[in-house]
A and B are shown apart, each in its own frame.
Chain A
Amino acid sequence: MSDERNGCSSCNTISLASTKDLLNQDLAKQVRTAYDRIDSRGMSSCLFGSSGTCCKNCNMGPCQIIDGVESMIGVCGATADTVAARNFARTIAAGTAAHTDHAREMVRGFIATAKGETPHEIKDVQKLHAMAEVFGIATEGRDKNEIALELGNKALAEFGQQDGTLTMLKRAPKKQQANWKKLGIEPRGIDREVVETMHRTHMGVDQEFHNIMLQGSRCALADGWGASMLSTELTDIMFGTPVPRRAVVDLGVLKGDHVNVTVHGHEPLLAESLCLAAEDPEILALVKKVGAKGLNLAGVCCTGNEILMRRGIPVAGSFIQQEMVLATGAVEAMVVDVQCVMQSVAQVVKNKHTDIITTNYRAKMPDAIHIQFEEHDAMGSAKKILIHAINNFKKRGEYYIPTDKKFDVVVGFSHETINYMLGGRFRQSYRPLNDNIINGRIKGVAAIVGCEHYKYADDVHFKIAVELLKNNVLILATGCAAQALGRMGLMRPEAAAEYCGAGLAEVCETVGMPPVLHVGSCVDNSRLLIALTEMVKEGGLGESIADLPACGTAPLWMSEKAVAIGQYFVASGAHVVFQNLPVTGAKAFNKYILEGMKEEYGACWDYEEDPIKLAHKMIKAIDGKREALGINKKQDRVLFDMEMRRDLTSGHGIPGVGCGQK
């Protein structure tokens, strides 16, 4: 265990004040964290794996491929390009599978809710109707649960659908839809695309990297415009579409005199049930009985994002902090479901009173206790979990909470919120955003999404964000990246004046919004697709997502989901820059990823390790779009006379006649 945690040999600098503070406490020094494991592993990451050219898809290998060295192709003859593309596509398939299974559970929960079998209810009827319209479901005079049931069933059918195309593709701009059709990559059914990707990347099937990546895109689109979007939209309908609210993040949200229950993972069904159960009189009585002042629910990772966005429940830590949250010794239980839960958490709490409670039959781990979350007895399960946690309170030993380490954030920027906040109930639209992009106050829009890991310094998100803000780029953030930015104070509205260039600061001040908008969890990247589409539809910024001055990044990406997300953005026309990608070992494939895709989708991937340079690559990409749109220079004010006002009616008049003539 290292006392000096600042600057280990693997360059994993810790800048986060709460983590530093905690790790300097004696009680935390006994805990072995990922930082220590990186240090003690003694070996750097496998170069073949890192560059995408390790193939272990069959038992003739594993084969390490060196591009251009004839003797170093695969035993089967697979080239570096084939191997890297297969690996890349499999990463996409794994990420898509994760979102898909998450989404499937949400849809099933949605159906159960419509049937009245859960403690939840259909909260956002307006959105229910909007989605019903997308799915061609009649709403007039129908009960919300009846509509919801039909919607749920139609949504569920999208997973197993074999033919046709996914319903929500038609929400995309016309140009994207046409492009997908032309390329033959419209997803047919969500599961089918994952299966087909796995099949085609099996030994001896698809061995042409371009063809593999067409399926990779189709699979990713099934995630973005399918699984993830279904999850976001139906979860919103069920638990409420996020609206702006204040909350706090970071380790300081834990409370010394409260029973602290942290919820870690991804699916909000469990967390929402815990929220409801936490208000149950029986639970409250028990809390009192054990001598606690109350029950403090706090989120971790994307479950944290879900309940932060919808309920304003504090987030104790992001992915990178999951061990730190436990190292405080102040947590009675960490309730986990699926994805991004490190196996180490059960080890961190080994000598503590804390229990790791797994709740999903899919996700168990040694040294954790398992209490299955039954969706048909959600309250029962939730109460059982909470009772277990509360009973731990008396066993709590020495603990340390960095109480002064917490940050105010304003969150809840769903697509609907953004639409509303730019014009109010009566004039809501993306017009002011587009307008201020056109007039140059805002240079463009960036998405900072994805994960965190320990290989680079933990302030990468912050550095990129600051650079972008300085250059008047508005930031939308999701996932653990969003939490990282929140922890650095960028989700306070005051941050606009502190960090932004004059133009962006002025727009933020006008609207009253922070310069970094928390859009949700990692499945909620689908909200960004809708936001980009709205920008296109609002007009003035081209006819395709590929025309927009917008760019995405997932620095510190860790999960396979991030690659699936990146690919669905690229395939939807949005330029994406990561810090690294496992493609560098395959020259032709690498070139295709970095350039070739642009010809197909109007967007491609890029990578850059250095955060400042990465930010400038994004800015450059945005500037390029501005130039192509012809909005890179100051425009004169247009004054309207009567003739021009008559012309405003174009489209209504008679072609070639009167005021309609053009």
Chain B
Amino acid sequence: MSKIICSAAIRGARKIIDMAEESYEEALKKYGADHEVSFPNTAYYLPVIYSMLGAKVEKLGDMKDIFQECHKLMPPVVTGDIWLPYLAPALDAGMATFFAEEMYEAVRYLNTPNYYTKTEDPTADSIWLGAADDVIFRKRGVEFVDGTAPGFAAIMGTPADPEVASRIALELQEKNLYIFMHDQTNGLTMPDLLTKNNVQVGWNTRLVPFGQSYTTAVFAIGFACRVAMAFGGIKPGDYKGNLLYNKDRTFAFVMAFGPVSDEWYANAAGAINWGFPTISDYDIPEVLPTGICTYEHVVSNIPHNEIVQKAIEVRGLKVNVTKIDIPMAFGPAFEGERVRKDELFMECGGGRTPGVEVLISKNMDEIEDGLVTLEGPDICDIVQGQNLPLGILVEVAGRQMQSDFEPILERQFHHLINYIQGIMHMGQRNIMWVRIGKAAVEKGLSFKHIGVVLHGKLHQEFGAIVDKIQVKLYTVEDKVREVMALATSVYTERDLRLGAMTDETEDVFYSCTLCQSFAPSHVCVITPERIGMCGAYNWLDGKASYQINPTGPNQPIEKGECTDPDNGYYVGINEFVNQASRGAVPEVSCYSLMNNPMTACGCFEAIAAMLPTCNGIMVVNRDFLGMTPSGMKFTSLAGMAGGGNQTPGFMGVSKHYMTSNKLFKAEGGLKRVVWLPKMLKEEISEKLKEVCKNIGMPELYDMIATEEQGTTEEEILKFLKEKGHPALEMESAV
């Protein structure tokens, strides 16, 4: 009965608004109207309010108008008979609920700044993380974009049994969903039950404890709103665009355990606006007719062993999971899981023992598909703490296989091995490091399972180019050394071949529209010397991806005549991008920040911005939280560079591009770069120094300022003058 639900939702919304308004009034007395309020480190203000109303709540006093909006949205209570239509009023009340909850939580951040941990993982003091800041949001949001995560389950309360809670969490993880947890049921909270049952909780395992109050459901909704704004190019205030974007693309739903309060109903009603239905284990009324959500709106009385299946069916989600026959759970949700010291059983590589992984192609007749061998002791042969060397040699063959594709396949090892629950993989090539947890060993892990995973997944993802795969694993040192020798020669050859490739040597570049499900208007152009700004796709990837799926997101572009080698204007590229953007971007330069810079969806590793006073360019990476000399933090800059628009002076770049010969070629190249965060500068220092040397200015490296020299243009300018930075002598770039 929709009537019962709508009536309750309207009642609940009233209570929540009153509660929020009360806390606001108190805060107003205490801090005054001009006191700043915000969620931690975000450029999206209070994201639900910002995305729906276009209103920026920056100061406490700004909340007044929003509360007025809440009151305007609030309908009268539903009468017992001769009622007026209540669905729409209840949805409005649900929306008002989120506005109120967002302000309530913002006031909470003000009153108790450390109420939430504000970290990726729970701390010793608290399990509740609070709202995702923009660093977490961008990192995780990208997974929504590329399809690694189809959506999220916003969980209210918990099943009482820790085993049941853990199983439901695992099932949701296996569907690749994020699990946002809120509130409690009969005094129990889901993250508590999971932790006690030794389930790792935090952003890394996609099991995110947002908050212990139902009001934190707004963190989940705010996350969805930000995805639409950051990646979908939806403008703040375009509520319809945002809501429909989420209905069509973010496969999220509410999963409620136990009795449903008026306040929960209010939140559920709000979520329906986004097309997120509610699935409950409790005996509450149902709302089955479709329309606002893709399918049903409220489904109830679902037994715990069916609830995950039911939820994804109601939401209309299809998850393609190939079953990998290993005793551990497997999937992207386990990629970020860690194996901590006291959970560790043994480790390989990582400086402790020799470790190496390599993939090479061979002739078809040299390979027996599916063969997985292990030479040396297996896990079951050793005791805890006994580390082993590890060599992973994957040999593939296929009619479409080219040696150029070897590194692409090899690069998959990292995430594929990480997908196995209980194993942690870091690094690559001969600096790889594998940590194996006790839990995995208890479930019967064998090294051979790594082979099973690599064989199965590489076949699945690269079936178009690979026909046969065999995996040889070695845990005896001399054999590992043999593999390492082979690998070293392969790496050297590979690097030489890649290094020799330039934009001039290749006639074809590749487009990338992988993000188009989330960023409909943006198209990346990937050249040999400028990899995708996400850092994940280089020219070879584009080529391989095209081989694998000729109608897929990476298409070859005949670059055509180069009309301006400094800016990087190519006739073919312009034609392609003009068509792809439907005339919105008629011209794009491949190497300029100031002239028709390349557009971005929002998943760039770093952002370049012009500093007019310094006559130079700064680049800031996503992980740098501090202020930059542009006067904006990364998150604000991201708003300038993203959304598929050309904004001269702002551009998304990959870290790799920083050491490319084509870097800002139109503006004078690396000599224009005046500021980098220290962490970025150090991360790429080796290559950076090499490029400095190559351009005949080895001293340039030390002339590039970091936040240690300052975070204002004035400070940086002073430093540049002291050092005699070449940018100061160059012609004005603005």
B-contact bits for A392-405, CB 8 A (1 contact / 0 none): 00000000000000
Known contacts A427-B243, A510-B289, A639-B316; is-contact A408 B91 (Cβ 8 Å) = no
Chain A contact residues, CB within 8 Å of chain B:
244-246, 408, 410, 420-428, 431-436, 439, 441, 492-494, 506-507, 509-513, 637-642, 644-646, 648-649, 652-655, 657-661
Asked if B189 is at the interface (CB within 8 A of a chain A CB), the reply is no
Q: Which of A434, A642, A659, A661 has most B Cβ within 10 Å?
A: A642
Chain B's interface: helix, strand, loop or mixed, by majority?
Answer: loop
Q: Which residues 214-259 in B have Cβ within 8 Å of A in the complex?
A: 239-240, 243, 248-249, 251
Q: Which residue of B lies closest to A491 (CB)?
A: B82
* CA A640 to CA B292, docked complex, whole Å: 17
**How many residues of B are in contact with the other chain, CB < 8 A?**
60
> Could you tell me if A511 and B249 are in contact, using CB atoms closer than 8 angstroms?
no
Closest 4 CB pairs of A and B: A432-B291, A424-B91, A639-B318, A658-B513
Q: Which residues of B contact A441 (CB under 8 A)?
A: 289
Q: Which of B90, B249, B511, B517 has most A Cβ within 10 Å?
A: B517
> Could you tell me if A423 and B292 are in contact, using CB atoms closer than 8 angstroms?
yes
* CA A80 to CA B147, docked complex, whole Å: 70
Asked if B553 is at the interface (CB within 8 A of a chain A CB), the reply is yes
> Could you tell me if B516 and A510 are in contact, using CB atoms closer than 8 angstroms?
no
Q: Which residues of B contact A648 (CB under 8 A)?
A: 248-249, 517
* CA A654 to CA B524, docked complex, whole Å: 12
> Could you tell me if A425 and B316 are in contact, using CB atoms closer than 8 angstroms?
no
> Could you tell me if A506 and B580 are in contact, using CB atoms closer than 8 angstroms?
no
> Could you tell me if A425 and B73 are in contact, using CB atoms closer than 8 angstroms?
yes
Which of B84, B87, B318, B521 is close to A510, meaning CB atoms less than 8 Å apart? B87
Q: Which residues of B contact A660 (CB under 8 A)?
A: 513, 516
> Could you tell me if B89 and A424 are in contact, using CB atoms closer than 8 angstroms?
yes
Q: Which residue of B lies closest to A648 (CB)?
A: B248
> Could you tell me if A637 and B313 are in contact, using CB atoms closer than 8 angstroms?
yes
> Could you tell me if A424 and B554 are in contact, using CB atoms closer than 8 angstroms?
no
Min Cβ gap A418→B in Å is 9
Q: Which of B2, B312, B521, B579 has most A Cβ within 10 Å?
A: B2
Q: Which residues of A contact B554 (CB under 8 A)?
A: 658
* CA A20 to CA B147, docked complex, whole Å: 69
Q: Which of B147, B313, B516 has most A Cβ within 10 Å?
A: B516
Asked if B95 is at the interface (CB within 8 A of a chain A CB), the reply is yes
A sample of 30 inter-chain contacts (CB < 8 A) reads A244-B84, A245-B84, A246-B84, A421-B88, A423-B291, A425-B88, A426-B92, A426-B239, A435-B291, A436-B291, A439-B289, A511-B85, A511-B86, A511-B88, A513-B85, A639-B313, A640-B294, A640-B316, A642-B517, A645-B150, A645-B249, A646-B517, A648-B248, A654-B555, A654-B579, A654-B580, A657-B511, A657-B513, A658-B511, A661-B551
Q: Which residues of B contact A421 (CB under 8 A)?
A: 85, 87-88
> Could you tell me if B150 and A509 are in contact, using CB atoms closer than 8 angstroms?
no
Q: Which residues of B contact A494 (CB under 8 A)?
A: 81-82
* CA A644 to CA B2, docked complex, whole Å: 31
> Could you tell me if A653 and B513 are in contact, using CB atoms closer than 8 angstroms?
yes
Which of B83, B317, B517, B552 is close to A512, meaning CB atoms less than 8 Å apart? B83
* CA A434 to CA B290, docked complex, whole Å: 10
* CA A637 to CA B555, docked complex, whole Å: 33
Q: Which residues 6-20 in B have Cβ within 8 Å of A in the complex?
A: 6
Q: Which residues of A contact B719 (CB under 8 A)?
A: none
Q: Which residue of A lies closest to B517 (CB)?
A: A646
Q: Which residues of A contact B291 (CB under 8 A)?
A: 422-423, 431-436
Min Cβ gap A231→B in Å is 26
Asked if B720 is at the interface (CB within 8 A of a chain A CB), the reply is no
* CA A422 to CA B2, docked complex, whole Å: 13
* CA A637 to CA B312, docked complex, whole Å: 12
* CA A246 to CA B82, docked complex, whole Å: 7
A-contact bits for B305-332, CB 8 A (1 contact / 0 none): 0000000110011111000000000000
Q: Which residues 539-571 in B have Cβ within 8 Å of A in the complex?
A: 551-555
Known contacts A420-B88, A424-B91; is-contact A436 B316 (Cβ 8 Å) = no
> Could you tell me if B318 and A644 are in contact, using CB atoms closer than 8 angstroms?
yes
Q: Which residues 293-351 in B have Cβ within 8 Å of A in the complex?
A: 294-295, 297, 312-313, 316-320
* CA A398 to CA B625, docked complex, whole Å: 86
Q: Which residues 500-555 in B have Cβ within 8 Å of A in the complex?
A: 511, 513, 516-517, 520-521, 523, 551-555
Q: Which residues of B contact A428 (CB under 8 A)?
A: 88
Asked if B287 is at the interface (CB within 8 A of a chain A CB), the reply is yes
Chain B contact residues, CB within 8 Å of chain A:
1-3, 6, 52, 73, 78, 81-92, 95, 147, 150, 239-240, 243, 248-249, 251, 273, 287-292, 294-295, 297, 312-313, 316-320, 511, 513, 516-517, 520-521, 523, 551-555, 576, 579-580
> Could you tell me if A659 and B517 are in contact, using CB atoms closer than 8 angstroms?
yes
Q: Which residue of A lies closest to B146 (CB)?
A: A642
Q: Which residue of A lies closest to B87 (CB)?
A: A511
> Could you tell me if B85 and A652 are in contact, using CB atoms closer than 8 angstroms?
no
Q: Which residue of A lies closest to B92 (CB)?
A: A424
Q: Which residue of A lies closest to B521 (CB)?
A: A652
Min Cβ gap B734→A in Å is 33
Min Cβ gap B210→A in Å is 23
> Could you tell me if B316 and A637 are in contact, using CB atoms closer than 8 angstroms?
yes
Q: Which residues of A contact B87 (CB under 8 A)?
A: 421-422, 424, 510-512
Q: Which of B88, B517, B521, B554 has most A Cβ within 10 Å?
A: B88
Q: Which residue of A lies closest to B269 (CB)?
A: A424
Which of A425, A427, A435, A492 is close to B290, meaning CB atoms less than 8 Å apart? A435
Q: Which residue of A lies closest to B245 (CB)?
A: A648
Q: Which residues of A contact B83 (CB under 8 A)?
A: 410, 493, 512
Q: Which of B320, B521, B580 has most A Cβ within 10 Å?
A: B580
Q: Which residues of B contact A408 (CB under 8 A)?
A: 81-82
Q: Which residues of A contact B92 (CB under 8 A)?
A: 424-426
Q: Which residues of B contact A513 (CB under 8 A)?
A: 85
Known interface pairs A410-B82, A436-B291, A637-B295; 15 further A-B residue pairs with C-beta atoms within 8 A, sorted by A's residue number: A422-B87, A426-B243, A432-B289, A436-B290, A493-B85, A511-B85, A512-B84, A639-B318, A640-B251, A642-B320, A648-B249, A653-B580, A658-B552, A659-B517, A661-B551
Min Cβ gap B556→A in Å is 10
Min Cβ gap A659→B in Å is 5
* CA A498 to CA B579, docked complex, whole Å: 57
Q: Which residue of A lies closest to B522 (CB)?
A: A652
Q: Which residues of B contact A512 (CB under 8 A)?
A: 2-3, 6, 78, 83-87
> Could you tell me if A424 and B517 are in contact, using CB atoms closer than 8 angstroms?
no
> Could you tell me if B1 and A509 are in contact, using CB atoms closer than 8 angstroms?
yes
* CA A434 to CA B82, docked complex, whole Å: 26
* CA A494 to CA B81, docked complex, whole Å: 7
Q: Which residue of B lies closest to A412 (CB)?
A: B84
Q: Which residue of A lies closest to B580 (CB)?
A: A654
Min Cβ gap A475→B in Å is 15
Q: Which residues of A contact B520 (CB under 8 A)?
A: 649, 652-653
Q: Which residue of B lies closest to A493 (CB)?
A: B83
Q: Which residues of B contact A509 (CB under 8 A)?
A: 1-3
Q: Which residue of B lies closest to A442 (CB)?
A: B289
Q: Which residues of A contact B84 (CB under 8 A)?
A: 244-246, 410, 493, 512
Q: Which residue of B lies closest to A506 (CB)?
A: B289
> Could you tell me if A426 and B316 are in contact, using CB atoms closer than 8 angstroms?
no
> Could you tell me if B317 and A424 are in contact, using CB atoms closer than 8 angstroms?
no
> Could you tell me if B91 and A426 are in contact, using CB atoms closer than 8 angstroms?
yes
* CA A245 to CA B317, docked complex, whole Å: 39
* CA A434 to CA B516, docked complex, whole Å: 28
Which of A427, A436, A642, A652 is close to B240, meaning CB atoms less than 8 Å apart? A427
Which of B95, B297, B516, B523 is close to A424, meaning CB atoms less than 8 Å apart? B95
Q: Which residues of B contact A493 (CB under 8 A)?
A: 82-85
Q: Which residue of B lies closest to A424 (CB)?
A: B91
Q: Which residues of B contact A435 (CB under 8 A)?
A: 289-291
Min Cβ gap B270→A in Å is 10
Min Cβ gap A52→B in Å is 43
Q: Which residues of A contact B523 (CB under 8 A)?
A: 654
Q: Which residue of B lies closest to A649 (CB)?
A: B520
Q: Which residues of A contact B289 (CB under 8 A)?
A: 432, 435-436, 439, 441, 506-507, 510
